[in-house]
Amino acid sequence: MRDHPHSNLPGEPAMMGIMADDARPRILSGMQPTQDSLHLGNYLGAMTQWVALQNDYDAFYMLADLHALTVNPEPAALRERTRRTAAQYLAGGLDPDRATLFAQSHVAAHAELAWVLSCHTGYGEAGRMTQFKDKSAKRGGDGPSVGLFTYPVLMAADILLYDAALVPVGEDQRQHLELTRDLAERLNARFGPDTVVVPSPHIVRSIAKIYDLQNPTAKMSKSEASAKGTIWLLKDPQRAAKAVKSAVTDDGAEILFDPVAKPGVSNLLSIYAALTQRSMEDVVAEFEGRQYGHLKVALADVVVDVLIPFQEKVNTFLADPAELDAILARGAERAREVADQTLTRVYDRVGLLPPARSAWS
Ligand code: TRP
């Protein structure tokens, strides 16, 4: 029997995991608002997947604006990019009535839980994160910040606050996810097995793996972006068409899906199949006996046909920032309901005194 004085606090084990109003398993994911535009790799790799998951999961999709501070952005640029990222999520089909879309900084519990977790993270453990090592090697000036060092701890807090069963992220986040699991298990071992939910290590495969058009063995990514190798969702669609037409292709003339022997052509085929939502077989059959140039022209047209309506939708959202902010405010409210329960539970378990109720309230 429990005789714990706070056994009726919200967030106690009996209530863990499932919200009264939603029995779907939880997922959480996030993207940093560090760019003026998402690229096609984000769109096909993450966004379409998030949209697909919002039906069967109680999904929390976060604008990781606190994480974005690690690159020390200009304040106005950060604000603008945060809204632009939100607008792109919505234009991509994320539905604020089905999923919870919110800004990380609007939910104070993220920074608060991160502090507790940082007290349980080894200095060496954090130092072994390969992304930290890569990013700090690239940083000039004063070198890496403490924030960059503790970035994965904040990410663990993001995940654990929502009792997320699954975290749909790309391969590049695997190590951060493993740290999150280690921290969750450590907390449960020390403070009780139901202190936090250990998220599944399962990394959801992206629908299509998209590579740089000029360097088709490197992933299409914001940090490695070569000017002509990346398709930006919010830039001139004609420029994107040009980039497709000048994509690097492979020796030979035959159009085959063979990522090892023909990485360039295979990448174009993947993008084509993903954007037209057709099977690879189907697409390869369409181009049988035709030349690389045909594929490029066809893909350029498809890209333009996707970008134009997407940009129109984004512009509609950006034209009404008050509405956009209202959507984020609603999301933050729902996020806070869940996150605050977890934080209360963890604060209690680690031995922090519950704030006494004021005699006047
Ligand atoms: N680090 C992630 C990235 O760069 C973004 C992120 C922050 C995230 N917090 C998260 C992803 C929590 C998943 C879950 O892609």
Query: What ligand 1 atom has the least distance to the C-alpha of 104?
Result: 9
Among all chains, which residue has been given the structure tokens 């604020």?
96
* Separation CA 356–CA 361 (nearest Å): 11
pLDDT digits (tens, 9 = 90+) for 203-225: 666 667 889 999 999 988 755 55
Q: How far is the CA of 31 from the centre of ligand 1 (A)?
A: 6
Site to probe by mutation for ligand 1, drawn from 110, 173, 175 as the one with most ligand atoms within 8 Å of Cβ, is 173
Ligand 1, pocket residues at CB < 6 Å:
28-32, 64, 67, 155, 158-159, 167, 169, 173
Mean pLDDT of the chain: 90
The catalytic site residues sit at 135, 219, 222
pLDDT computed for residue 129 by the predictor = 95
Kind of pairing between the strands at 100-103 and 26-31: unpaired
pLDDT digits (tens, 9 = 90+) for 245-264: 999 999 999 999 999 999 99
Q: How far is the CA of 299 from the centre of ligand 1 (A)?
A: 30
Mean pLDDT of the 172-196 span: 96
pLDDT digits (tens, 9 = 90+) for 46-84: 898 899 999 999 999 999 999 999 999 999 999 999 999
Q: How far is the CA of 326 from the centre of ligand 1 (A)?
A: 23
pLDDT digits (tens, 9 = 90+) for 262-276: 999 999 999 999 999
Alpha helices in the chain (DSSP H): 40-42, 48-53, 65-68, 75-91, 109-118, 123-127, 130-138, 146-160, 174-191, 237-245, 263-276, 280-286, 292-318, 321-350
**CA neighbours within 13 Å on the CB side: how many for 267?**
25
Site to probe by mutation for ligand 1, drawn from 27, 31, 154, 172 as the one with most ligand atoms within 8 Å of Cβ, is 31
**CA neighbours within 13 Å on the CB side: how many for 303?**
31
Query: What ligand 1 atom has the least distance to the C-alpha of 164?
Result: 14
Question: Would you place residue 120 in the very low, low, confident or very high pLDDT band (cuts 50, 70, 90)?
Answer: very high
Judge whether 54 and 98 are in contact, CB under 8 Å: yes
Question: Would you place residue 97 in the very low, low, confident or very high pLDDT band (cuts 50, 70, 90)?
Answer: very high
Q: How far is the CA of 155 from the centre of ligand 1 (A)?
A: 6
Residue 16 has pLDDT above 80, yes or no: no
pLDDT computed for residue 8 by the predictor = 37
Among all chains, which residue has been given the structure tokens 């209202």?
326
* Separation CA 27–CA 272 (nearest Å): 29
Query: What ligand 1 atom has the least distance to the C-alpha of 64?
Result: 7
Residue 293 has pLDDT above 80, yes or no: yes
Q: How far is the CA of 344 from the centre of ligand 1 (A)?
A: 23
115-122: Cβ within 8 A, 24+ apart:
116/346, 116/347, 116/350, 117/153, 117/156, 117/157, 117/160, 117/183, 117/187, 118/150, 118/153, 120/183, 120/186, 120/187, 120/190, 121/150, 121/153, 121/179, 121/183
Q: Which of 204-213, 234-243, 295-304 has the lowest mean pLDDT?
A: 204-213
Cα distances (Å, whole numbers) of residue 268 to 55, 169, 224, 244: 30, 23, 19, 8
Judge whether 51 and 93 are in contact, CB under 8 Å: yes
Query: What ligand 1 atom has the least distance to the C-alpha of 28?
Result: 14
DSSP 8-class letter at 60? E
Cα distances (Å, whole numbers) of residue 45 to 119, 151, 204, 211: 34, 22, 10, 11
Site to probe by mutation for ligand 1, drawn from 27, 102, 176 as the one with most ligand atoms within 8 Å of Cβ, is 176
Tokens describing residue 289: 């006996």
